[in-house]
Structures are given as structure tokens and as C-alpha cells.
């Protein structure tokens, strides 16, 4: 018997003081409900110990687990929960709403807080979220506007400028922590897991007003190691496309600004370029390597744009592109913030 309330999805998660994920840090890192905090009642090592013992004796494993959960719950009570007042009302979950979350929820309820348990735990959230995300792309009135253009035109910068002016923006590369190209591997941090990418995508989508346009960037099916969910990929292929243009010299300047770490670590850049020998040939890659070694950055960046990225670009409307032909084009004149703000204004004023 339990002495606390339970919550079943879909629910208004904003009604809770906070959402608490009591799973291990390793489980939390793979994925969690957006906005949740991690207060583990078993550490990574403790969960492994309990699981190993369970193979030989479920009873002994439950005894060990109960003691560890109690000790960690006591620590959280004396530290994290110490200053919470009587109005505090958290929602707790573990993997399936089992012993870990039930134990801490019961303790918090016994203190007097209105703690609630998420029925089915993270597993239930994941199943519901995937279905809801698919519904948002396939069965809603959502209208995406896709920004396309050659590498280096600053599509992400334009998205940020649109957001500054109050437009709804879906920054897929930001959520994926990858710029979606050979040089796009994150310089700081790693890409999230596929599951966390999808949870972040769902969280962002749930904030949008479906009656208003949502601007996003044309992407490949993969952004680094991550895949676009099939429903998103289909929605992108069906959405209107705006072609973004920027002069070559300005594109070169933009790459120089956005990839400064390669100038500081030319060896890593040289290693990346070797991957292109198969499609661009040894002679061109050797030329690039020489330009990098001699720090002829402007010459190198111009060439990598013209002789690699521009040749790889699948123009919307071409038979090899999933995207339809552009319905309009917007010219950005320079990489200045004012130029992108001006282009964003032009975009917003288009009759779409």
C-alpha cells in the first residue's frame, strides 16, 4: 500500500515544483524528462551491485537495495530537501515507477510534501513522448519553413536572428550539438544520445503555437551521429523552402569565425581532410594540407567551399534532393549582425 498520489501521462508537468529523476547518473545522462533534476537513490556502482546479486538471490538483492536506497534518501533529505517548505510538490520517477521512486516518494509524502509518482516511470514517458512527437509532425497543422543554402551562408545565424524578433525557431543543429558537416564535430562537449535529442526536440515542439510558422534549417537525415526522426524527416521534405544566399568572400569569413579551433589545432583539421581523399582526390587534399601548414587560411577556406562543399550541395528541387524547389530567396549581404537581422525581417514579412 502507498500513501501518495500518482500521475499518468499526458499531464501538465508545469504544475509540479520540480521533476525528480531518481535513477543513476548514467541512466539520467542517456535521457530524461526535459527539465528534470537527478537525485539518484542508487549510484551507478550500487545499481550494478544490486543487479549482480539479484541473479543469485532476489531476496538478498532487495535487502541490499533497500538499505542503499534508504541511506541515499536520508542524504538527500538532510541536504537537498532541507529548505523546502510545505508547498513543495515534486513529481518523481525511476525506470518503471518501481522501488527506487516509490521509496523516495513515500518518504517525502510522509514528511508532509505533496509528492507524486509518475506511473510507469521513464519507460512510460518515453513511449508517450515518441507517439506525441510523431503526432506533432504528422497530424497537426504545424507549418515548417525550411531555410536552405550553401555551406557558410549562416543559416543558423539567421535562425537566431529570427528568434530575436519573436519568430518560432527549431534549431536542430543546436540540439544535436553538431554543425551537420565534415567539420561540424563539436569542439566542446559531445553530441547527446539519440533518445535525449528526441526528448529535446519534443520539449521544444511542445512550446510552439501551432498556428504560427516555425523556421528550421534544411538537414540531412543524419546530424553527426544522430538521426532525424522519420516523422520530422517527412515533414521537412513536404515543407516550403527559402534559399539563403551570401557572397563567397563573406562565407569564407563566416567559416573563419565559426571554426577558430582548427586554426589553433591544424593537425586535427588535416586528419579530418584525409577522409576526403576518396572523393576529392589526393592532389586536391595535398594542396589543402599545404595551405593549412603554411596558414593560408583564406585560400584554404575559399577552396574547401568551392571545391568540396558547393559540389556536394543538393539544390532543393534537384532529383537527388528531398526538398522541393525554393519558393523564394533571401540575400544576406554580409556576416554582420545587422545583415542577418535585416534578412530575418525580410523573411518574416514574406507572405507565406
- Integer Cα distance of 173 and 146 in angstroms: 13
Pick 213 or 271 by higher pLDDT. 213
- Spatial distance between the Cα atoms of 159 and 177, rounded to a whole number of angstroms: 15
32 upstream amide cis, omega within 30 of 0:
no
**Which pTM was predicted?**
0.91
DSSP state of 166: T
| Active site residues per annotation | 94
Show the cell assigned to 85.
Answer: 517548505
pLDDT higher than 70, residue 2: no
Domains, the chain, in order of start with CATH, read: 5-128 (3.40.250.10), 140-349 (3.40.50)
Q: Which long-range contacts (CB under 8 A, 24 or more apart) does 256-264 make?
A: 256/297, 256/298, 256/301, 257/335, 258/179, 259/183, 261/187, 262/183, 263/295, 263/297
Q: Can you tell me the mean pLDDT for 282-305?
A: 94
pLDDT given for residue 187 in this prediction: 58
> In this structure, is the dihedral angle defined by the CA atoms of residues 172, 260, 253 and 301, taken in order, positive or negative?
negative
| Local confidence band at 186 (pLDDT 50, 70, 90 cut-offs) | low
Provide the phi-psi class of 139: left if phi over 0, else alpha when psi is between -120 and 50, else beta.
Answer: alpha
Can you tell me the mean pLDDT for 222-226? 92
Q: Is the pLDDT higher at 172 or at 318?
A: 172
Over residues 320-337, the pLDDT tens digits come to 889 999 999 999 999 999
State the chain's mean pLDDT as an integer: 93
Residue 109's Cβ-count burial label (10 Å; 0-12, 13-18, 19+) is middle
Q: What is the pLDDT of residues 337-352, one digit of tens each?
A: 999 999 999 999 998 8
According to DSSP, residue 34 is labeled T
Element (H, E) at 160: helix 155-164
Amino acid at each position: 500500500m502507498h500513501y501518495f498520489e500518482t500521475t499518468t501521462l499526458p499531464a501538465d508537468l508545469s504544475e509540479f515544483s520540480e521533476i525528480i529523476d531518481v535513477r543513476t547518473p548514467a541512466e539520467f545522462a542517456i535521457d530524461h524528462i526535459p527539465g528534470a533534476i537527478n537525485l539518484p537513490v542508487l549510484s551507478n556502482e550500487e545499481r550494478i551491485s544490486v543487479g549482480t546479486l539479484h541473479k543469485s538471490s532476489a531476496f538478498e538483492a532487495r535487502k541490499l537495495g533497500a538499505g542503499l536506497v534508504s541511506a541515499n534518501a536520508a542524504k538527500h533529505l538532510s541536504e537537498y530537501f532541507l529548505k523546502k517548505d510545505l508547498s513543495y510538490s515534486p513529481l518523481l520517477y525511476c525506470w518503471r515507477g518501481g522501488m527506487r521512486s516509490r521509496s523516495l516518494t513515500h518518504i517525502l509524502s510522509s514528511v508532509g510534501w505533496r509528492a507524486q509518482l509518475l506511473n510507469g516511470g521513464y519507460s512510460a514517458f518515453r513511449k508517450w513522448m515518441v507517439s506525441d512527437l510523431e503526432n506533432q509532425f504528422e497530424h497537426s497543422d504545424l507549418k515548417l519553413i525550411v531555410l536552405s543554402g550553401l555551406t557558410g551562408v549562416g543559416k543558423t545565424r539567421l535562425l537566431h536572428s529570427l528568434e530575436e524578433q519573436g519568430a518560432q525557431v527549431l534549431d536542430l543543429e543546436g540540439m544535436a550539438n553538431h554543425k551537420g558537416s565534415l567539420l561540424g564535430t563539436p569542439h566542446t562537449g559531445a553530441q547527446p544520445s539519440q533518445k535525449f535529442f528526441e526528448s529535446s526536440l519534443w520539449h521544444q515542439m511542445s512550446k510552439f503555437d501551432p498556428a504560427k510558422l516555425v523556421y528550421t534549417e534544411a538537414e540531412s537525415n543524419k546530424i553527426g551521429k544522430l538521426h532525424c526522426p522519420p516523422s520530422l524527416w517527412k515533414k521537412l521534405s513536404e515543407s516550403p523552402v527559402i534559399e539563403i544566399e551570401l557572397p563567397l568572400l563573406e562565407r569564407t569569413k563566416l567559416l573563419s569565425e565559426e571554426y577558430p579551433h582548427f586554426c589553433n589545432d591544424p593537425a586535427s583539421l588535416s586528419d579530418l581532410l584525409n577522409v576526403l581523399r576518396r572523393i576529392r582526390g589526393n592532389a586536391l587534399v595535398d594542396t589543402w594540407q599545404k595551405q593549412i601548414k603554411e596558414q593560408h587560411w583564406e585560400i584554404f577556406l575559399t577552396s574547401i567551399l568551392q571545391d568540396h562543399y558547393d559540389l556536394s550541395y543538393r539544390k532543393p528541387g534537384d532529383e537527388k534532393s528531398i526538398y522541393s524547389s525554393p519558393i523564394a530567396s533571401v540575400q544576406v549581404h554580409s556576416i554582420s549582425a545587422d545583415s542577418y537581422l535585416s534578412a530575418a525581417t525580410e523573411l518574416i514579412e514574406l507572405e507565406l
